[in-house]
Structure formats: C-alpha cells, structure tokens
Amino acid sequence: MPTAPAYQQYRLIHDIYVLLDDGDRRVLNTCNLTTSQYAVLRLLNLEKGRRLTSLSDQLLCARSTITRIVDQLEDTGLVLRVNDPEDRRAQLAVLTQKGATMLDSARATHCASVTSRMDNLTEGEQEQLILLLGKLRNGLRAQLDSNAIPDEAGC
Amino acid sequence: MPTAPAYQQYRLIHDIYVLLDDGDRRVLNTCNLTTSQYAVLRLLNLEKGRRLTSLSDQLLCARSTITRIVDQLEDTGLVLRVNDPEDRRAQLAVLTQKGATMLDSARATHCASVTSRMDNLTEGEQEQLILLLGKLRNGLRAQLDSNAIPDEAGC
DNA sequence: GAAGATTGATTGTTCAATCTTC
DNA sequence: GAAGATTGAACAATCAATCTTC
C-alpha cells in the first residue's frame, strides 16, 4: 500500500526538524544558550513582560518547564521576574538590557546559520514553500484551539 | 528589516513540528509508546536487525540514548539484542514478533492521526509541498554528510 | 473551584569515562 | 588508536502535589 501523502509530509517535516535542531544546538551553544532558553527569549521584548503561562501555552510545554527556564535566564541576568500588576497570582518575565542585547546577537547568529543551511531552494520555491507551510500551520493551530485532537482507537 | 525567507521557512517548520509532536505524544501514549521508542521501532523490521550505532546516526542522538531506549524495548519484549556475526563489538536490535505486531498497530494509529490532523491542503498542494520539502531535506542531509555546519562568529 | 506559579520526584537525554574488539 | 556499546553523573522535561490569589 502506498504511503499516504499526509504521512509523507509528516515524515519530511520530522526529518527536516531533526536536522535543523541538531544544527541549532551547536550554533546557539556558541552563544551559551540552549534551544529552550532561546525559544523563551524570542517571545520576550524590552517593552513589556509576558506571563509564564503565556510562554508555556505558546511553546506547548509544561508550566514547570517554563518556571525552570526562567530561573536559568534570571540566574544569568537575561530576564527578570516582575509581579503582574493586573493579577497578583501572575508573574511577568521581562527582558533585561543584557537579555535584549543577547537576544539580538543570538538572533543574528542563528538567522545567519539557518539561512546558510537552507540555501538550496530557489526564491520562487521558497515563496511557495512559505505559503504552503503557513496554510498547514494555520490548520494545525485551529485544531489545537478547537481542542479537536481525535482520540484514536488505540492499539 | 524584513525577515529572511529562509528564516520564515525555518520558523514555520519549527512551529509545525512542535504542534505535530504534541499530538504524536498523546496518540502514541495510547499505544504505551514514547515518541522515541516509536522512532526506533520504525527503523527496524522483522527480516534483519540493525546496529545501535546505525540507529543513533539516523536519529541524530547520543549512543547512550539508543542504548537506553533499546533497554526499554527489550524490557517490554518488543526488541531483542543479538550479537552481530560480522563484528563482535556490535549489537543488533531485532524486532520480535510482538514488536512487529505493535509497530504495525502503532503505525496505523499514528498514520491515521497524522492524516486527520494534516487535512487542510488540497491534493495538488500536498504534492507540491512534498516535492519542496524533499528538496530541502536532501540539501540539509548533504550538508550533514559533508560535515559543513559552519561555525558562526558566535556572540 | 479554577488559574498562575512553584517544588519534589520521576523520566528522558546527554556527556564523560570505561570496556571490548577491530 | 578508533569504533561499538555500556555505565554513572549531570542536565532537561514532565507529572503530581501544593500554595496563593482570582
């Protein structure tokens, strides 16, 4: 039986991600950042802070994972915790100046690395790919929002 | 400054992977498999075994990671370790009949789930996407083989 | 009771060191 | 000395339980 097209897409995306992630780890390591720390930093900016819950929702990881990553970023002075004035239960993760500088630098380094690694498509192909991937992502996000991940029969 | 197309592709693939992986974990959990265990099983078949080194190379993870995943799969009776007749240093991971049955079942479950989740592209779009992703993956693989991951200036 | 966040315990992954065989 | 594999220690991520505030 032929492999379903959706599954072929899935495998390709999976393989590509693994290849990219492997490179990311090496590159970000030169900035003394883990990929997780970078992912959190990327969601912050200098203007206003962001709730930890918002971060874990966006990154689809456990609350406690964010707590610990923010701990690390606070230890290295890249981020500060601030009480949310609108809700005394909540904490905001805020970029420090040092964090903003680090983020800019890491982003430039990472972006250059990614660009050099993903250079084998023509401009037209890249545009097409971005369009198709965007549609795919939006579909997946919509499913997540509608909480419609189907429970299969299981094994 | 506008975001480089390569980086847009990167972000989309990253986001899509995170969304898909989150669903994978839930689905495979119904088969009592972790995504890592499934990834290893997928690389095996009933006919002949496969060296642990080959598995870690393919999955881009540490040797010791494979050792431990194979330990787990052996504990649950899905896989057996066999001495490699061609090299007395090497071990082969071999699917058991139970493992083959489990793999078939998990694959069917997972494939159905993936297909239902990635259903928002037309057939034509899917074909295009597969072509483009395939080209991208081959480029990345080629870089890996030539060990040409560039060392950036760092931060 | 629910949401935001944290902590301790468990599991998963990697790193460095070790052993055997090439 | 290098390659295949394993082990113990360190790090990373999750889960369940807990605390505070809504």
Cβ(A19)–Cβ(A11) under 8 Å?
Answer: no
Separation between Cα atoms, residue A7 and residue A53, nearest integer Å: 32
Separation between Cα atoms, residue B28 and residue B72, nearest integer Å: 15
Q: Is the CB of A72 under 7 A from strand D?
A: yes
DSSP state of B22: H
| pLDDT at res. A110 | 94
| pLDDT at res. A1 | 57
- The predicted-structure confidence for A104-150, as pLDDT tens digits, reads as follows 999 999 999 999 999 899 999 999 999 999 999 999 988 877 754 44
Q: For residue B54, which nucleotide's C1' is closest to its Cα?
A: D4
Helix (H) or strand (E) holding A48: none
Please report which confidence band the pLDDT of residue B52 belongs to, taking 50, 70 and 90 as the band edges: very high
For residue B25, which of B90, B123, B139, B113 has the smallest C-alpha distance? B113
Positive or negative torsion for Cα A3, A7, A12, A17 = negative
Cβ(A155)–Cβ(B30) under 8 Å?
Answer: yes
Distance B131 CA to C22 C1' (A): 42
Could you say which of B18, B115, B152 has the minimum Cβ distance to residue A6? Answer: B115
Distance B105 CA to D11 C1' (A): 34
Q: Which segment of A3-17, A21-35, A140-154, B57-71 scores lowest on mean pLDDT? A: A140-154
| pLDDT at res. A2 | 67
> Is 70 exceeded by the pLDDT of residue B1?
no
| pLDDT at res. A115 | 92
Contact B139 A119 (CB under 8 A): yes
Q: Under 8 Å CB-to-CB from A129, ≥6 apart: which residues?
A: A121, B9, B129, B132, B133, B136
> Is 50 exceeded by the pLDDT of residue B145?
yes
| pLDDT at res. A150 | 44
Footprint of strand C on the protein (CB under 7 A): A 51-54, 63-64, 66-68, 70-71, 81, 84, 87, 89-92; B 34-36, 61-65, 68-69, 72, 87-89
The protein residue nearest C8 (Cα–C1') is A64
Q: Is the CB of B44 under 7 A from strand D?
A: no
Minimal CA separation from A88 to chain B, in Å: 30
| pLDDT at res. A153 | 39
